Structure formats: C-alpha cells, structure tokens
Amino acid sequence: MKNQKQAISGADVQNFMRFRKENSRMTRFGRWFLLVLCCCSLCQYFSPSASAERGYKSFEVAVYVPEYVVEQMKDSNYLQSTWKIINDQVKVDKVYLETYRSGRVADDQLLDQVKKFFVDRGVEVAGGIGLTVMESNNFQSFCYTDPKDRDFVKMLAQKTARHFDEIILDDFYFNNTKYDSDIAAKGSKSWAEFRLGLMDQVSRELIVDPAKAVNSKVKVIIKFPNWYEHFQGNGYDLKNEPGIFDEIWTGNETREADMTPQHLQQYQSYEIFRYFENISPGRNGGGWVDTGGIRYVDRYAEQLWDTMLAKAPSIMLFKWTELLNPAVAGQRQAWSDIHTSFDYQQLVNEYEKSHPGLHSTMAGVAGYALGGIDPVIGRLGNPIGIASYKPYNSSGEDFLQNYFGMMGIPIEMYPSFPADAKVVLLTQEAADDPQIVSKIKARLEAGKDVFITSGLVQALQDKGLGDLLSLRYTSRKAIVDQFAAGYGAPVEAGNKNGGILIPEIDFFTNDAVPLIRAGANGNSFPILLSDHYSKGVIYVLTIPDNFNDLYSYPSGIVSVLRENLLRDFPVRLDGPDKVSLFAYDNHTFVVESYLDQPVAVTVALTGGTTKITNMQTGDVTTGSASTPRRGFGGRIINTGPDRVNFQITIQPHSYAAFSETP
C-alpha cells in the first residue's frame, strides 16, 4: 500500500479534472467551472457571521468530500471559492471529510486545516473512509485475509478517529477478493457465508474497536449501498452489522433504471430507506444520493424527494465536485414549458438574476428540490404501506417490491415476519425463512390475508405449500397479449410490443378462482388467483419473466389488483403505472408521477372524508362516493369499505401532497 500511495500522491489538479470527467454524466464544462472560480476569487469572501443561513426545518443536509478533493482544498482559493458556490445554493449543515480512497491517505495537517475552515463557519465536520484499494479497478476491495491489508485498514480507522468524533464508511466496505488466502480461509463454506462472517469480524476488530480505542466518543457509521438484494454475496450483513456499528445510512441512488445493470426502479429511493429503518429503527441516520446516471436534471430532484418522503432525518449529497457541475436541463423537452415541482427555468432565472453571468450548478438543483419539499415533510406522519417480508440476507425476485411501488401500491418491507399486519405480500425471497409455510398457515387461520407471487409458489410447492393450495408452478411459459377480470372473454389489449412472457400455473377449477386472467390464441392463464383457507384468503399473483412487463398490464387490470391488495388500506390510487402513492398515518398522502406528461388519477379514501387540501397550494378538492364494481350476473363485488373518490392531476415528474380536510 505504501508504494501505491506514493505512486499517485501529488496529482491534485489533474486528478480532480479526471474525476470530474469520469463522474459528470450531464456536462463537461471545464472552462465554465474555471470561470466561476475566477469570478468568485474576485468577490469579497464572507466571514463566518456573514455566511448564508443554513438549516431546513424537517431534515439536515450533509456533503461528502472525497480524499482527492480534500487534497485540492489545500489551495485556500479553491476551498473558499467552491464553498461559496455550494453555500449560495443549498443549506449545508455538515461536511464529511474523507481520509482515504484508492491508495491515497489524507495529510493530517491538511485535515485539521480544512476542518477548521468549516467549523469557523458554523458547519459540523465528520470523517469518512472510502475503503477500496482501487476504485477504477472494479471497486477492488481490500483482502481481509491478508495481515498487511488488515493492519492498514485498522490504521485508517484509528487515524480518522483521532481527527473526528464521527466516521462514516462509504459503500466500498465489502469484500470481493478471491486470493489464495481467501480460498484457504473459506474452506467448505459458500462465498456468502464466508464473507458475511469475515466482514462481521473486520467490522469489530479492524474498524469499530480500534476507532473507539483512540477516541471513546467516536460514532462509527456504516453506509449500506443500493444493491441490498445482493449484499450477502460480498459480505454486507444486514442482520448483524447494524448492531456492530453505532448507526447506519442508506444508499438511495436509483438514477435511470435502464442506464445501469442494476435495473433499479425510481420507487426504491423511498422503499430502501423504509426497509433499512425497519431493520434498525431510529438508527438509520440518513439517505445518500449522487448526481450521476441521469438523462434529465429532474431525476436528481426525484431521488432527493423520495428519500425525504421516506422520512430520512438527513440527506448526504455526494459529492463536493458533483455539486459544482452546471445544472444542465438534459432530455426534458417534453415538459419544459410546464411548471413542475422542479422548475428548471425558474431555477436558472433566479440564480442568474442574483449571480449575473453565472449559471446554477447541481447544488442549486439540490437546494431547489429540498427547499420545495421541506415544508411538506414536516406535515407528514409516519409512512404506512402494505407489509412485505424480506428476511435478512435473502434474495429472490430481486427488487420486486419496488415495481409494486411504481404501480401505485405503497410497500413497507420488514426483515421479520409481520404477523400483525392485516395483509402481507410475500415474494420469492420469503422462502429463505424455513418456517414460512407455517407462518402463512397461522395467518390464514387467524383470518388474515396473504398475497404470494408465482416465484414463491415455485420455491415452496414441494416444501409444504401444497397443504394450503392445490396448484402447480409448471415448466411451461405463455406469451399473453389479452387480459380480463372476473368472468367473460379477455378483451383488454396488453403489451403492444409483442406480448408478455409469463409462467403457467395449473389450478383446479372451482378450488381456486381466477380474479384476473390473461389470454393468448384462445387459451387462458391465471394472473391473480384467490383461494380460501380456514378463515383467510390466499392470493397468488403471476409475475412476468421481465418485471418491467408489469407496466404493460392494462390499467383496468392493475385496478383490480389494487382493489384486492389495498382492500382495507385507507387510501387507494387508480391511474397509470409509474405514478406512486406515499401514505402516512395522520391522514396525509403524496402522489408522485415519474411520467413525461400530465396525468389524471383518482384517489379513493375510506372514513367518509369528502374534502382534501393540497398542502402546497391550499386548494380544496371535493370528492364523490365511489360506485360499486359489478361482476358476473350484475353482482356487486366486495372491494372493501366504502370510499370517496377524488380526481386530481399531477404534472410531469412532480408530486402533490394532500391532507384530509375535517
């Protein structure tokens, strides 16, 4: 490690510009950035007493400063100029100064110098560590079976603890080496088993205990990244590590779903924080978002909003240099003339008015987005949603709950079985619980409904599920292009791109009832089955092979799914996919659209409320009683308690928050 550090030390300006080029997805306006620095250097630098007022009412804002940027900050002109750019546009409460990344170790004297700069300006300062040997080499991790690497990591923890009373580990804190020493240490264990145990040990012996040995006051935080379905493969342990560290943070980056191999849906920026909060209640310190991987600038704002809608107490803006990049509109022509929740032109005009000749940066986007949602967050209660069970370190039908969220179905994931929830959604990952069939049975016997996916049927059909259901997940597939609910011919057209590939499930007529069916070439296949067991109802939902095809189900069919899954939920959304509903326990809710055009939706509330108030505008909307849906023979279908419907319109890439009016 010593030679590696010496080989790259001192490459300050060149490294900074290289990282800007690699990480800026929207622009590479290097000359613009230099112009801003020159302009700022001509300005009178503000004293601590003259710094912009900081602090939002509902959450705190932090900025992460990587080690190579800390190195750049030895130039006082750079430090003061860039701080002014950021501080003028977003209210920063805290900065995290990184002590190590990719073979580079920050200088002790420089850390003290930069720390003093921020403390003098009333900004909290904490430390960070980016534990990767080489970020550019596929995020190469340390070899935690190599004594030299172990000693080096321990040294970094102690060094950082000497400077700071709080340390956060960036999301390189995993293990992906398979050296001979790893192979020998693994023995007969699976890589997941080995790495989980190894990283638990590393957390205690090389990070937390050594840090506290030199600074008993230090708080050590682990930041978990966004790929939670696959953590166990690289040693992230959601079961044990939250108890080892003083606090956890959440990686809320979702970027563009089709621009990365992760296929993360927008809703995950909300749901991942909720899941981690249920793993470590009250100890999930904040969310973490960067500016990368986006086609239009609103996408950055959406990730910030969704993190705050999950009731995160803090947001980490990664990273300092990304906040200095110009705020470029990107591909937002379809809604550029509409006033949306993030009004790009308004942002640009206001900044240029107060800063003639300059253009707003991504710090301004963050400030606009957070400032707009701040008063809303303070009026929202605790998030609520349909309970879904994801056991610790499980996988199967990866990230599927987020697709439900994109279909307007609020989800609340738990690491322990939610026995008290009125309805539970179980995907294939629930099969990791060896007692899951008995838990399903107990719920049904208690009169509580269960929704299971076709993937879970496949995993459990030879493990006791047959005691509850007389159906089989077959090896056959069908490409379907028509849909129907209840009785009658399938007439609603589906995917216009050639059909949807689904697994075929066999069932006995009049044992299970198909509530939603799909059709293909005159044949019929179940999409949503229901079956009674004891005092409860078990539903089976067929999931397409490509989860994105869920968005190709016709809106009327999705409405039937919502009616059943959200039967007793206090608020229900009816509208197209990619419009999400966020519900809270104090009779408030938020509707957010990720679509490129305005969309009309219906919100149906229980409890007899006849008016709702838009929290942002004060406008009052009056509802009307919902009309019962009728099925075969004109019989009224039981879709739960009586509801009042409200018609609202959501602008593109925007949200609207409402409260029930007494």
CATH of the domain at 621: 2.60.40
**DSSP character string of 525-546:** EEEEEEEEETTEEEEEEPPPSS
Amino acid 171: pLDDT: 86
**Tell me, what amino acid is at 659?**
S
**H or E stretch at 562:** helix 555-565
**Tell me, what amino acid is at 50?**
A
**DSSP character string of 382-447:** -EE-EEEE--TT--SSTTHHHHHHHTT--EEEESS--TT-SEEEE-GGGGGSTTHHHHHHHHHHTT
89 vs 84: CA distance, rounded Å: 9
Nearest 5°: CA angle at 44, between 41 and 47? Answer: 120
* Residue that finishes a domain, picked among 362, 377, 392: 377
Same domain, 45 and 193: yes
Amino acid 316: pLDDT: 99
Count of structural domains within the chain: 3
Taking residues 211-237, report their average pLDDT. 98
Question: pLDDT-based confidence at 63, cuts 50/70/90?
Answer: very high
Taking residues 66-75, report their average pLDDT. 98
222 vs 242: CA distance, rounded Å: 8
pLDDT tens digit sequence for 4-56:
333 323 333 333 333 344 444 344 444 444 444 444 443 433 333 333 455 89
pLDDT tens digit sequence for 543-592:
999 999 999 999 989 999 999 999 999 999 999 999 999 999 999 999 99
Q: Does any domain span residue 304?
A: yes
Same domain, 561 and 651: no
Output the average pLDDT for the chain.
Answer: 91
Position 263 pLDDT exceeds 90: no
Question: pLDDT-based confidence at 391, cuts 50/70/90?
Answer: very high
Same domain, 372 and 394: no
Question: pLDDT-based confidence at 285, cuts 50/70/90?
Answer: very high
Q: Does any domain span residue 401?
A: yes
Taking residues 324-329, report their average pLDDT. 98
**Tell me, what amino acid is at 269?**
S
Q: Residue 356 in contact with residue 385, Cβ under 8 Å?
A: no
Taking residues 498-517, report their average pLDDT. 94
pLDDT tens digit sequence for 598-632:
999 999 999 999 999 999 999 999 999 988 766 55
Q: Does any domain span residue 256?
A: yes
Question: pLDDT-based confidence at 497, cuts 50/70/90?
Answer: low
**Domain limits for position 652:** 573-660
* Residue that finishes a domain, picked among 538, 567, 596: 567
288 vs 563: CA distance, rounded Å: 34
Amino acid 490: pLDDT: 56
pLDDT tens digit sequence for 133-180:
988 888 899 999 999 999 999 999 999 999 999 999 998 999 999 999
In 10 A of CB 342, how many CB atoms?
Answer: 23
Position 485 pLDDT exceeds 90: no
* Residue that finishes a domain, picked among 313, 348, 377: 377
How many CA within 13 A on the CB side of residue 649? Answer: 5
